[in-house]
Amino acid sequence: MFKELDPILHSQLRLAIISLLISVKEAEFNYLKEKTKASSGNLSVQLQKLKEAGYIEIEKSFKDNFPLTTCKISNAGIEAFENYVKNLKQYIQVKK
Amino acid sequence: MENEQLDMTENKALELIENMILSAKREIHDNGFYFMLWGYLVFISALIDYFLLVQTYPKHATIWAITMPLGGVISIIKGFKDKKSQRVVTYVDEVMRHVIIAYGISLFLVCLVMPMTSKNWQSFYPVLMVIYAFSLYAIGGIVKFKPLQFGAFSIWAMAVVSFFMSYDIQLLILALGVLTGFIIPGHLMNIRFKKNV
């Protein structure tokens, strides 16, 4: 029986964000923007969705008097990502 | 990257995950600066100490009191500057931070306690070299940079020889040790960093 792929993660930009955050301890907004090549507005919206799902933690602070947004994957996010990859593998194996 | 792509295929999703993870893994912050800084400072200090010692100058070791705090100040300033410009903290950075803290504490304790007991001067530099080699080997493994680990083996070997040598010869061995363990790997790391930027 196939489990449905998590709709929160099954979106190109959100999946890219989570894949980046799973590889690092924390990352700044501009780093994610550069790596995903997304627009600031789009990235902000998707980060907010991931935060609402409890998959990431967002910390807002200041650096050299400029606002700084730092993102970090949460334990729920790690679990969701692992489940997503597991389910994805099942789909791919069946299609082979 | 587009907003919503629920029609993304499974293969495309897997490819995206792989690309992002690889892209994050490529973050190499280390340009070998600290290895070069401390390598040159110890190299120069050891040679100056040696030459003053053979000239029978009584305060031959004074150079260390100048160069080591200087290295500390430069490292702290550079550390703050790097932290400001760092946009991402990888797990490698995190592990490195703990290794460097452990290295710093070990080095500080040895430098603080061993000179208090004059009978232990004989093993002061060899012990320092063992600590150098320990951290070089660990860091080399963490950042997957073999020259640091080769450097660590050469310093371990030199430390063993050094235990049986007189103080003046130990200074020359120390200079040679930091050349192979810090200066050369530091420059190689710098070349690798420039290639990746």
Three-class SS of B113-162? HHHHCHHHHHHHHHHHHHHHHHHHHHHHHHCCCHHHHHHHHHHHHHHHHH
- A5 within some domain: no
**Out of A31, A45, A46, closest to residue B88 by CB:** A31
Task: Return the percentage of chain B with pLDDT > 70, whole number.
Answer: 92
- B176 within some domain: yes
Cβ atoms of B36 and B182 closer than 8 Å: yes
pLDDT of residue B120: 63
Mean pLDDT of chain B: 89
pLDDT of residue B176: 97
Strands A56-63 and B88-90: unpaired
Q: Which of A53, A29, A57 is nearest to A43 (CA)?
A: A29
Residue A33's domain spans which residues? 12-95
pLDDT tens digits, one per residue of B4-42: 555 578 888 888 898 888 887 766 667 899 999 999 999
Rounded Cα–Cα distance for residues A73 and A21 (Å): 6
Residue B87 has pLDDT above 90, yes or no: no
Structural domains counted in chain B: 1
Distance from CA of B105 to the nearest CA of A (A): 24
Do the chains contact at B91 and A19, CB–CB below 8 Å? no
Rounded Cα–Cα distance for residues B58 and B62 (Å): 9
Do the chains contact at A20 and B94, CB–CB below 8 Å? no
Rounded Cα–Cα distance for residues B35 and A13 (Å): 39
Q: Is the model more confident about B93 or about B146?
A: B146
pLDDT of residue B1: 57
pLDDT bucket at B60, cuts 50 / 70 / 90: confident
Task: Return the percentage of chain A with pLDDT > 90, whole number.
Answer: 70
Owner of token pair 């452990």: B102
Structural domains counted in chain A: 1
Beta strands in B83-152 (DSSP E): 88-90
**What letter does residue B51 receive in the DSSP assignment?**
H
Do the chains contact at B88 and A27, CB–CB below 8 Å? yes
Q: What is the CATH number of the domain that holds A23?
A: 1.10.10.10
Do the chains contact at A28 and B6, CB–CB below 8 Å? no
Rounded Cα–Cα distance for residues B188 and B181 (Å): 11
- B128 within some domain: yes
Chain A residues near residue B5 by CB distance under 8 angstroms: 11-13
Q: What end-to-end distance do the CA atoms of chain A give, in Å?
A: 17
**Out of B8, B27, B89, closest to residue A26 by CB:** B89
pLDDT of residue B139: 92
- A34 within some domain: yes
Cβ atoms of B173 and B165 closer than 8 Å: yes
Residue B91's domain spans which residues? 29-196
Task: Return the percentage of chain A with pLDDT > 70, whole number.
Answer: 95
- A2 within some domain: no
Rounded Cα–Cα distance for residues A40 and B158 (Å): 54
Chain B residues near residue A88 by CB distance under 8 angstroms: 10, 13-14
| pTM, 2 dp | 0.78
